[in-house]
């Protein structure tokens, strides 16, 4: 799949196209199972992605990019790491670079959407709106090519004339992109219009980088064998399938497509295994059902509100129960492992007491954090509130915090992925060194944190139902939204040339 340099190759490949609401993790994994060489995620807008936090989800064995509004914007896993292309919607080179650098270690390549004609993509100058601004296209792509280690590609639509289209792709090629995908329709054309294979062929003849043909699902690709025919008709290096794959992802099987009901069942298994958003699951299954959405089964599916209910529609309740039991067992094993691994002995490093501690969100109940416990204990003992100082390591942007309590300093020797986590880890070191409770699940209530507040917050969080989204709920509930934690994070300072924070 990769070339000699270890980078993703786009020559002679069959590819799952980026599709909004379709190209989430379950569909990508299923396409790979059936024979796709490369899979693109759905277009994700740079403004939203730039606000995300990268979170390793040990229960699902995924990497999640979670927005401030608590949604999982992008979820990926090791199975697709070397074959997934992250597509973004952007009109800003600096923001595009920030997003690309956020995800580049978890994907195989970065793609910029320059072809989608729909309003959600074109507003703000993104998508096909970029086609009228070649200079901005050049700036965005050049910035990405220079700024990330993974291959950069883009996906365009054709322009009104052949000459304009060829001129644009030549400019794009000069930016250093690894490949260009061409949807063979103009931005004002829709699926009912025939795909212009002659335009794609002209592009392929005028550039030296791989050209990926797209747009043939309606007229050209009905079977696996048609994929090669479309490639030949367009003169492209590779073929990218959108709707043909959406209707039946087993189109990628060289042995021939399976009955769509078999593909639906396999898709649902991935959706449950990776805790896919229920309404996203339902949308994708409806696309596969096509005209059967108005059948009694289709109406049942429309009424489903959870992945469990979707499984019930397709007679997969036993599978759902077993999958849930497996995930709960994994969660419990991880919690027990963390409990035994994290309690080591403090070591004095200069004037700082250190321990090897990681802050794991899943170890704490909703709205409870070690920082809260440390703050409440300090107040109870009539001491100055804890003072946190945080440093960021340049090479990997990891964080490490030191907390000052009663004229003593405490720090974890392990670096964290965020400043928030680093401060929580420092608080844990202090609490464990002093033999104080920290609010872990299963820990006897110490009375340090107001019980009524905790119960109310737990009720608020419990309203958000779902299975393994409990992992995300625990993560979200430990955000420092409580007044107590906000009070301890309201002054910025610089520490050793990097970002740090202190509390007055």
Asked if residues 64 and 75 have their Cβ atoms less than 8 Å apart, the reply is yes
Q: How many CB atoms lie within 10 A of CB 487?
A: 13
Question: CB-based contacts of 63: which residues, under 8 Å, 6+ apart?
Answer: 54, 55, 56, 57, 75, 76, 77, 106
Residue bearing tokens 């039991």: 325
The strands making up 399-405's β-sheet, listed across from edge to edge, are 347-349, 352-355, 408-412, 399-405, 387-392
Closest CA to 485 of 369, 378, 380, 399: 369
Question: CB-based contacts of 326: which residues, under 8 Å, 6+ apart?
Answer: none
Question: CB-based contacts of 65: which residues, under 8 Å, 6+ apart?
Answer: 49, 52, 53, 54, 55, 72, 73, 74, 75, 102, 103
Task: In whole angstroms, give the CA distance from residue 401 to residue 471.
Answer: 24
Burial 129-151 (b: 16+ CB within 10 A, else e): bbbeeeebbebbbbbbbebbebb
Strands 152-157 and 109-114: parallel
Residue bearing tokens 């802050």: 359
Asked if residues 202 and 194 have their Cβ atoms less than 8 Å apart, the reply is no
Strands (E), 49-151: 53-57, 62-66, 72-76, 84-89, 109-114
CA 82 to each of CA 36, 58, 62, 109: distance values in angstroms, whole numbers, following the listed order = 13, 20, 14, 9
Asked if residues 54 and 67 have their Cβ atoms less than 8 Å apart, the reply is no
Residues marked as catalytic? 116
Asked if residues 254 and 36 have their Cβ atoms less than 8 Å apart, the reply is no
């Amino acid at each position: 799949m990769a070339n000699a340099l270890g980078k993703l190759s786009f020559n002679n490949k069959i590819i799952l196209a980026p599709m909004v609401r379709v190209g989430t993790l379950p569909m990508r994994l299923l396409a790979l199972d059936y024979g796709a060489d490369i899979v693109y995620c759905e277009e994700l807008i740079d403004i939203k992605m730039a606000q995300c936090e990268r979170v390793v989800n040990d229960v699902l064995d995924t990497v999640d990019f979670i927005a401030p509004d608590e949604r999982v914007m992008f979820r990926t896993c090791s199975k697709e790491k070397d074959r997934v292309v992250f597509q973004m919607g952007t009109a800003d080179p600096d923001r595009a670079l920030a997003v690309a650098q956020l995800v580049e270690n978890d994907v195989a390549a970065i793609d910029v959407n320059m072809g989608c004609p729909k309003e959600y993509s074109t507003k703000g100058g993104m998508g096909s709106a970029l086609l009228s601004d070649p200079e901005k296209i050049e700036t965005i792509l050049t910035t990405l090519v220079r700024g990330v280690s993974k291959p950069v590609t883009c996906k365009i639509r054709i322009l009104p004339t052949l000459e304009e289209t060829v001129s644009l792709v030549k400019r794009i090629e000069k930016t250093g992109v690894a490949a260009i995908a061409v949807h063979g329709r103009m931005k004002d054309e829709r699926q009912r219009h025939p795909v212009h294979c002659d335009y794609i062929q002209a592009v392929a003849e005028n550039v030296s980088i791989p050209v990926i043909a797209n747009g043939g699902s309606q007229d050209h690709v009905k079977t696996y064998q048609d994929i090669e025919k479309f490639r030949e008709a367009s003169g492209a290096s590779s073929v990218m399938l959108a709707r043909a794959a959406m209707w039946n992802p087993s189109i990628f099987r060289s042995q021939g497509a399976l009955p769509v009901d078999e593909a639906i069942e396999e898709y649902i298994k991935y959706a449950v295994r990776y805790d896919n958003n229920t309404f996203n699951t339902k949308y994708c299954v409806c696309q596969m059902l096509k005209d059967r959405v108005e059948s009694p089964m289709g109406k049942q599916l429309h009424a489903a509100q959870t992945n469990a209910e979707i499984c019930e529609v397709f007679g997969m309740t036993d599978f759902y129960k077993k999958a849930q039991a497996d995930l709960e067992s994994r969660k419990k094993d991880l919690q027990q492992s963390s409990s035994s691994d994290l309690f080591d002995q403090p070591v004095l490093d200069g004037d700082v007491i250190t321990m090897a501690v990681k802050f794991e969100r899943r170890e704490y109940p909703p709205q409870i954090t070690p920082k809260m416990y440390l703050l409440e204990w300090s107040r109870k003992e009539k001491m100055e509130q804890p003072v946190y100082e945080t440093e960021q390591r340049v090479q990997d942007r990891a964080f490490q915090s030191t907390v000052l309590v009663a004229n003593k300093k405490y720090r974890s020797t392990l670096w964290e992925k965020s400043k928030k986590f680093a401060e929580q880890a420092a608080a844990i070191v202090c609490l464990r060194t002093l033999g104080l409770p920290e609010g872990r699940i299963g820990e006897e209530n110490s009375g340090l944190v107001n019980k009524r507040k905790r119960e109310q917050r737990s009720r608020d969080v419990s309203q958000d139902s779902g299975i393994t989204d409990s992992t995300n709920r625990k993560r979200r509930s430990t955000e420092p939204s409580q007044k107590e934690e906000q009070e301890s994070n309201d002054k910025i300072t610089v520490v050793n040339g990097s970002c740090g924070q202190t509390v007055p």
